[in-house]
Chain A
Amino acid sequence: MTIDQLATATGERVNAVLRRTVLDHVAPERVAPDRTVPTRPAPDRAAAREFVDEYVVPHADRWDTLGKIPQELLTRIGEAGLWAPFLPAEVGGHGVSMAVLGEIHEEVGRGCSSVRSLLTVHTMVSWALRRWGTETQLRRWGAALAAGDLLGAFCLSEPGAGTDTDSLTTTAQRTDEGWLLNGTKKWITNGQRADLFLVFARGPHGTVALLVPRWSPGVTVLPIEGMLGTRASMLAEVAFRDVALDADALLGPTGLASGMVLTGTLDLGRYSVAVGSVGIIQACLDACSDYASRRQVRGSALRELPLIQAKLSDMVTDVRAARLLCAEAGRLKDLGDPATIMATWVAKYFASCAAAKHASEAVQIHGANGCSPEYPVARFYRDAKVMEIIEGSTEIQRITIAAEADRTWGV
């Protein structure tokens, strides 16, 4: 099949990048060498903050209404080196630490949870590739993911399987050439736009992870519109019908150890959602401090009222506590310490619950204005609710943390 036939078959946009990647798909050694040397300084919190204040905050409400993040912003994120800055310099990343990555995602989450969601799933795919990928896979996909020329999406959930990942029905059968993938994934963040899907399917001996290019024959994408929160994160249902993949599509080990690919990838997603939740609390605090100093009731500013002060003081306390929990999880990741996994569960549990609580209070402080599209707190409120459901729902967090308590302190 020629490149143009592929393009017609998928009915998708094929730009120069995709053409080059399709060529790379045929010949991995053709990865452009100019991508391997980072040309700008490694991004950090300050750079991310500046980026978010200039390019994200002023537009986030409009994107929320549109239900879409424009390509222009996606390109800018690439230019700022924010897609996967933790990837090593050899593939065009900056090797930034997990602690700094968390700070970057917090800043993005402060500006727009939909944009942060796109970063989260791209991070999950890129991290899984770095952690489990073979040299050939890294050469094929690494540079394009680092640059954001290709965007990744994480495909685990199905219409009938969310928290219960044992009930996955998507199958990956072994063939002489590699794999045959069949099934449907739902609620896939950035599914509308992503180029490379990391798909979890039932394999011959347990769950397997497969890297599936969007342009593979048999892949169809159905947009999901009108979600409660993270409305611009371009969700989709992605169906795989007799998708034939070469042997090299398999990421990581098979057999029992393949579950680790899922655990590790979800850990990174959980970390990103945790710091993103810190960003939401900070955004609530910024909005409420501003509003409470300007809004007058009975001749005094809201900020003079003890009940409003109580809400603001709780926001200040929780944003600090959540940030510290996330920083600890990031620090342990950078050390390669296995304690990071539980630390991340705890950080995500605390931060997402606190975000939901404070976003609700932020709407309360704003009164009717808080319910209107003229203020961003309604968006924070809807986005914060999503944080309690994704990457381990609040119930699953509690079950896991309680199991840890029992394991450690029970008699």
Chain B
Amino acid sequence: MLDTTAGKISAFIAHRFPKATITDADDIFSLGFINSLFAMELVMFLEKEFGITLPNNELVIDNFRTVTRMAELVGRLRPEPAAV
């Protein structure tokens, strides 16, 4: 689990909010986790962890609503692995 994209994102959120239990499908906005400070941390985490740059047009709430959505976002932006 931990080495999947969703697993890494979940682990980051769990690390920042040790008392919370969230599933990959939970809407983290409606659970009240998101403030602008955590949003910034989340963006920095995704960019660093997955080696991507989030363009302005992808910084929309729907892309960050759930762990699954964030994993999909990373999948879209991550460079294709080189063919072997």
List residues of A whose CB falls within 8 A of some B CB: 132, 134, 252-253, 255-257, 259-260, 262-264, 267, 335-338, 340-341, 400, 407-408, 410-411
**Are A264 and B40 touching (Cβ within 8 A)?**
yes
In angstroms, Cα B59 to Cα A252, docked, is: 9
Binary CB contact string for chain B from 18 to 34 against chain A (1 if under 8 A, 0 otherwise) = 11000000000000001
Segment of B3-11, B42-50, B69-77 engaged in the interface with chain A = B42-50
- Residues of chain B contacted by A259 (CB below 8 angstroms): 36, 39
- Contact assessment for A407 and B44 in the assembled complex, using a CB-CB cutoff below 8 Å: no
Distance between Cα atoms of A408 and B37 in the complex (Å)? 15
Contact B40–A260 (Cβ < 8 Å): yes
Q: Are A132 and B56 in contact (CB under 8 A)?
A: yes
- Residue with the highest number of chain B CB atoms closer than 10 Å, among A256, A259, A341: A256
Interface pair B47/A336, CB less than 8 Å apart: yes
Which residues of chain A are within 8 angstroms of B56 by Cβ–Cβ distance?
A: 132, 134, 252-253, 257
Q: Does B60 contact A (CB under 8 A)?
A: yes
Q: Which of A253, A264, A267, A337 contacts B48 (CB 8 A)?
A: A337
Asked if B61 is at the interface of the complex by the 8 Å CB criterion, the answer is: yes
Q: CB of B78 within 8 A of chain A?
A: no
Extra 18 A-B pairs, beta carbons < 8 Å, given A253-B56, A335-B48, A341-B40: A252-B56, A253-B57, A255-B59, A256-B34, A256-B39, A256-B60, A257-B59, A257-B61, A259-B36, A260-B39, A260-B40, A263-B36, A264-B40, A267-B40, A338-B41, A338-B44, A338-B45, A407-B16
Q: With A259-B36, A263-B36, A263-B40 as known contacts, state yes or no: A408 contacts B48, CB within 8 Å.
A: no
**8 nearest CB pairs, A to B:** A259-B36, A257-B59, A338-B41, A338-B44, A336-B48, A253-B59, A263-B36, A263-B40
Determine if A338 and B42 form an interchain contact, defined as CB atoms under 8 angstroms apart.
yes
Q: Assess the A260–B48 pair: CB atoms within 8 A.
A: no
Residues of A within 8 A of B19 (CB): 407, 410-411
Closest B residue by C-beta to A257? B59
Given contacts A132-B56, A336-B48, A337-B44, is CB(A255)–CB(B37) below 8 Å? no
B39 surroundings in chain A (CB, below 8 A): 256-257, 259-260, 263
Query: Which of B34, B39, B42 has most A Cβ within 10 Å?
Result: B39
Residue with the highest number of chain B CB atoms closer than 10 Å, among A252, A259, A338: A338
Q: How far is the CA of A97 from the CA of B56 in the complex (A)?
A: 24
User: What are 28 sample pairs from A and B whose C-beta atoms fall under 8 A apart?
Assistant: A132-B56, A134-B56, A252-B59, A253-B56, A257-B56, A257-B61, A259-B36, A259-B39, A260-B39, A260-B40, A260-B43, A260-B59, A263-B36, A263-B37, A264-B40, A267-B40, A335-B48, A336-B44, A336-B47, A336-B48, A337-B44, A338-B41, A338-B48, A341-B37, A341-B44, A400-B37, A407-B19, A408-B18
Residues of chain B within 8 A (CB-CB) of A336 are 44, 47-48
Nearest A residue to B56 via CB reads A253
Q: Which residues of B contact A410 (CB under 8 A)?
A: 19
The CA of A338 and the CA of B19, in the complex, are separated in Å by 19
Q: How far is the CA of A267 from the CA of B38 in the complex (A)?
A: 13
Bound Cα distance A335, B36 (Å): 21
CA distance A260 to B61 in the complex (A): 12
Q: How far is the CA of A336 from the CA of B43 in the complex (A)?
A: 10
Q: What residues of chain A lie closer than 8 Å to B57, measured between beta carbons?
A: 253
Nearest CB to that of A207 among chain B residues?
Answer: B36
Q: How far in angstroms is the closest Cβ of chain A from B49?
A: 9
A142 to B41, CA, bound (A): 26
- Shortest Cβ distance from B20 into A: residue: A407
